[in-house]
Amino acid sequence: MRARLLLGFGLIALTTGCGLHPLYQGGTRSAAARQLAGVEVAPIPGKAGWLVHNAIVDRLAAASGGTPRYRLTVVLEDSIEGLGVRANDTVTRERRTLRARYQLHALDAPKDAPPLLDETANADAGIDVVSSEYATVAAEDTALERLATLIADRIIARVSVDAARRAER
């Protein structure tokens, strides 16, 4: 028991010097929260775009209130691919993939300035294809909603990390 306790304290002591610190340390005064408060999201076309846009805006709402200083543009690629195929050529399993290429631009930067952040985020989901076409379409829509949430979370996390790194410089 004592050895485990000492080992635990030893591990804690080792991690304090590794440079890790909370991303949102300082609450609304943190670099990440200040940058998120100043981000406006450009409209994203299509159903998937509407879902991703709303998910990003929902996550930014907690830090909103600032004057927009940055513009986030997102380009989506949504695809569904049949994976499991029976002998009669019917598909039994699909994979829905949502890819987002996103860029963060400073609004006060010249038009030809490179983006502050230029990244991609990917997410995919498996879908069972059943005999009911309605059930399959409903499963595809549910998968798209989940993927939009995942993509929005990844975009917000990456923008936050970038803000924290830029603040350290």
CA angle 38, 56, 40 (to 5 degrees): 30
pLDDT along the chain (169 residues), means of 10: 67 59 55 76 96 93 75 96 85 94 93 93 94 92 96 93 77
Q: Which two tokens stand for residue 28?
A: 């609304």
Q: Tell me what pLDDT residue 104 has.
A: 94
Would you list the domain boundaries of the chain? 27-168
CB burial string 107-137: b at 16+ within 10 A, e below: eeeeeeeebbbeeebebebebebeeeeeebe
Q: Tell me what pLDDT residue 41 has.
A: 93
Q: Tell me what pLDDT residue 76 has.
A: 97
- pTM of the full structure: 0.80
- Residue 158: how many other CB atoms lie within 10 Å: 16
- Residue 74 contacts residue 93 (beta carbons within 8 Å): no
Q: Tell me what pLDDT residue 101 has.
A: 97
- Residue 19: how many other CB atoms lie within 10 Å: 6
CB burial string 79-88: b at 16+ within 10 A, e below: eeeeeeeeee
Q: How many residues does the chain have?
A: 169
Q: May I ask the CATH architecture of the domain 27-168? A: 2-Layer Sandwich (3.30)
